[in-house]
């Protein structure tokens, strides 16, 4: 396993690396026509476009979004109604918040959302009809939970240059499933991505259940989000907040040539009664923790990788939390050399850095 020191990566490449020999490069040059719709010129420039001069300690903020509508819950006996119903609201609100602050994110989208329609059987899929049962029962008349092509189009058309990645085809748990099913999921995603002219360079594992990484590599994935080395939820607040544990992560290239960009923090990992006891924004421990991660990235040379689902934005309090965090990212980007990058940009830079270090490129 080769660890890529971020400090070394800076200056080797401005985030615009050429295609790496031997690997498919679906992200370069930037795709301007996706889903058959011409993307308008960005009104806001992502942070990774900036000129970087010398090798200095500089870090990045990466934000990834698990965009799934009903698919994040379809296999659960009792899906949480509030979050299921918040999927579309949260998706639109997040897009607005990212645009307000001019911040790009990696949107990992469930492939099924790109379908126009389906009968709920998926006969060719090796997971079998039972896996798709909810489409034929409770959600038979809920197409808005099963399809979301117009929401994906909204990401592509957005003035902010977001990345569209993959969150599998039907939210299969890769750590538990067979190789055959993993292959079928990736193959279907590739077909849909090609038809929609989407890159799908980056992959986010459903429920962060990492598995079949070689299958990802076979299907042209460049980057995935690995498990967080920091504790989640209330433990994150206690350990991260009180013991001063770093929230930064380092990207590294695994044995399959994939770049792992591990998660730092789940933005809604601290919920329930403890959360409700601190409705005031300045008391929100997650805002404090996320700000600290951003500050560490601005001062150091690692990545602060925040992630969430659109359906975590259930109400105005959730919106305010994200607004406060994103405002802090934008402020630090303006004040310092901090970059705000997509997973794909980090992956391409890590591979270019590795190849430079190995002497395989000029
Ligand atoms: Zn279906
Ligand atoms: Zn998910």
Task: State the average pLDDT for the chain.
Answer: 82
Q: Name 34's bridge partners.
A: 37
Mean of the pLDDT values across residues 310-335?
Answer: 96
- Quickly tell me which residue has 């990207």 as its tokens: 251
> How much is the average pLDDT of 205-232?
92
CA 291 / ligand 1 centre spacing (Å): 40
pTM: 0.82
Tokens 């630090």 map to which residue? 332
Judged against a pLDDT cut of 80, whether residue 149 lies above it is answered with yes
The ligand placed nearest to the CA atom of residue 69 is 2
The predicted structure's pLDDT at residue 300: 86
Residue 154 C-alpha from the chain's centroid = 16
pLDDT at 237: 58
Closest ligand, as measured to the CA of 107: 2
pLDDT tens figures, 230-271: 665 556 555 555 566 789 999 999 999 999 999 999 998 765
CA torsion through residues 208, 213, 219, 221, sign: positive
**Concatenated DSSP letters for 228-297?**
PSSPPHHHIIIIIHHS-----B--EE-TTSPEE----EETT-S-THHHHTT-SGGG-HHHHHHHHHHHHH
The mean pLDDT value for 59-72 works out to: 97
CB 71 within 8 A of CB 170: yes
Does 235 or 184 have the greater pLDDT score? Answer: 184
pLDDT > 70 in the chain, percent: 75
Tell how far the Cα of 76 is from the centroid of ligand 1, in angstroms: 16
Around Cβ 172, how many Cβ atoms within 10 Å?
25
Residue 129's pLDDT band, with cuts at 50, 70 and 90, is confident
Segment 98-103 shows an average pLDDT of 98
Q: Which residues partner with 63 through β-bridges? A: 306
Q: Which ligand is nearest to the CA of 112?
A: 1
* CATH superfamily membership of 2-15+54-357: Glycoside hydrolase/deacetylase (3.20.20.370)
The more confidently predicted of residues 280 and 158 is 158
Q: Which region, left, alpha or beta, applies to residue 187 given φ > 0 means left and ψ of -120 to 50 means alpha?
A: alpha
Which ligand does the CA of 310 lie closest to?
2
Q: How far, in Å, is the centroid of ligand 1 from the Cα of 11?
A: 45
Collapsing DSSP to helix, strand or coil, 128 comes out as coil
- 56-77 average pLDDT score: 91
Q: For the chain, give every domain's residue range.
A: 2-15+54-357
Q: How far is the CA of 172 from the centre of ligand 1 (A)?
A: 13
* pLDDT of 25 higher than 70: no
b/e map 56-87, b = 16+ CB within 10 Å = eebbbbbbbbbbbbbbbbbbeeebeeebbbbb
């Amino acid at each position: 396993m080769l660890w890529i020191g971020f400090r070394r990566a800076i200056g080797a490449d401005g985030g615009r690396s050429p295609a790496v020999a031997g690997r498919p490069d679906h992200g370069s040059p930037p795709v301007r026509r996706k889903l058959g719709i011409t993307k308008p010129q960005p009104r806001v420039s992502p942070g990774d476009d900036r000129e970087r001069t010398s090798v200095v300690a500089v870090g990045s903020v990466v934000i990834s979004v698990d965009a799934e509508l009903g698919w994040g819950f379809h296999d659960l006996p009792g899906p949480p109604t509030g979050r299921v119903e918040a999927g579309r609201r949260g998706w639109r609100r997040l897009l607005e918040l990212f645009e307000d602050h001019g911040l790009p994110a990696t949107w990992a989208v469930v492939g099924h959302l790109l379908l126009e329609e389906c009968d709920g059987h998926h006969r060719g899929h090796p997971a079998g009809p039972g896996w798709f049962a909810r489409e034929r029962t409770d959600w038979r008349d809920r197409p808005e939970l099963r399809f979301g092509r117009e929401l994906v189009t909204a990401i592509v058309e957005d003035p902010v240059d977001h990345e569209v990645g993959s969150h599998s085809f039907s939210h299969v748990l890769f750590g538990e499933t067979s190789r055959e099913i993993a292959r079928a999921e990736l193959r279907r995603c590739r077909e849909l991505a090609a038809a929609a002219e989407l890159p799908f360079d980056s992959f986010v594992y459903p429920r962060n259940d990492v598995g079949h990484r070689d299958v990802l590599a076979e299907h042209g994935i460049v980057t995935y989000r690995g498990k967080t080395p920091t504790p989640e939820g209330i433990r994150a607040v206690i350990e991260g907040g009180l013991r001063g544990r770093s929230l930064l992560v380092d990207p590294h290239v695994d044995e399959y040539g994939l770049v792992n960009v591990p998660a730092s923090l789940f933005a809604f990992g601290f919920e329930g009664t403890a959360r409700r006891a601190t409705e005031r924004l300045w008391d929100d421990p997650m805002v404090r923790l996320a700000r600290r991660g951003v500050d560490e990235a601005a001062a150091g040379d690692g990545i602060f990788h925040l992630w969430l689902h659109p359906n975590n934005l259930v109400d105005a309090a959730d919106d305010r939390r994200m607004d406060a965090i994103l405002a802090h990212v934008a402020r630090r980007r303006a004040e310092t050399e901090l970059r705000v990058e997509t997973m794909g940009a980090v992956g391409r830079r890590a591979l270019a850095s590795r190849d430079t270090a190995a002497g395989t490129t000029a």
